[in-house]
Amino acid sequence: MTFRRILHLLIVASLVAGFGSPSARAADKAQIQQAIAKGVTAIKANLKNLSNSEKSLAYLAVYKAGEAPNSPLMVEAVAHVRGKIKSSGYEPTANHFYEAAIDLSLLADMDAEKYQQDIKVIAGYLAKGQSPEGHWNYPAPHNEAERTGGDVSVTHYACLGLWAAARAEVEVDPQIWVRALNWAASHHNADGGYAYNPGVAIGLDGTNSTMNMTVNGVGIMCIAMLNLEPGWNPPFEKGANPTPKVAAGTPEKPASVIETVDLDQKAAEKAAQPVRIPEAAYNATRNALNWVSARFQPVNNSAAHRAYYYYSLERMGALANVTKLSGRDWYDECANQLLTDQKPDGSWGLTQIVSQGNDTSFCVLFLTRSTGKILKRVTPEGTVGGGLLSGGRGLPEDLSNVDAKGNVKKIKEKSSLDQLLAALNDPDSLAVGDTQSEFVEQIQLGDKSQLIGKKELLIQLVASPNPEVRQTAVWAIGRSGNLSLARYAVSALEDKDTAVMIEAHRALCWTARKPKAFKLPDDPLDGLPPDAGPDQQAAAVDAWRRQAVRLWGEWYLRNRPYAERGDEFETNLRNRLLELQ
Burial environment of residue 483 by CB neighbours within 10 A (0 to 12, 13 to 18, 19 or more): buried
How far apart CA 391 and CA 384 sit, in angstroms, is 10
- pLDDT-derived band at 354, boundaries 50, 70, 90: low
Phi and psi at 197, nearest 5°, equal -120, 100
Q: Which helix H or strand E contains 555, and what residues bound it?
A: helix 534-559
Phi and psi at 228, nearest 5°, equal -85, -30
Segment 140-169, tens digit of pLDDT: 655 555 666 789 999 999 999 999 999 999
> In the prediction, which pLDDT does 147 show?
63
How far apart CA 84 and CA 151 sit, in angstroms, is 24
- Second CATH level (architecture) for the domain 412-580: Alpha Horseshoe (1.25)
Same fold yes or no, 37-374 and 412-580: no
How far apart CA 222 and CA 163 sit, in angstroms, is 11
> In the prediction, which pLDDT does 403 show?
35
How far apart CA 573 and CA 156 sit, in angstroms, is 38
> Going by C-beta distance under 8 Å and a sequence separation of 6 or more, which residues neighbour residue 364?
36, 39, 40, 43, 61, 62, 64, 65
Would you kindly state where each structural domain of the chain is located, as residue ranges?
Answer: 37-374, 412-580
Interior CA angle at 194 toward 193 and 200, to 5°? 135
Is-cis flag, bond preceding 141, omega within 30?
yes
Mapped onto helix, strand or coil, the DSSP state of residue 329 is strand
How far apart CA 157 and CA 223 sit, in angstroms, is 11
Q: Closest by alpha carbon to 366, among 295, 441, 315, 329?
A: 315
Mapped onto helix, strand or coil, the DSSP state of residue 148 is coil
> In the prediction, which pLDDT does 246 show?
33
Q: Label the pairing between strands 259-260 and 275-276.
A: antiparallel
| This prediction's pTM | 0.60
Q: How many CB atoms lie within 10 A of CB 428?
A: 4
- pLDDT-derived band at 477, boundaries 50, 70, 90: confident
> In the prediction, which pLDDT does 275 show?
62
Mapped onto helix, strand or coil, the DSSP state of residue 90 is strand
Segment 292-350, tens digit of pLDDT: 999 999 988 765 678 889 999 999 999 999 989 988 999 999 999 999 999 999 999 88
CATH fold of 37-374, please? Glycosyltransferase (1.50.10)
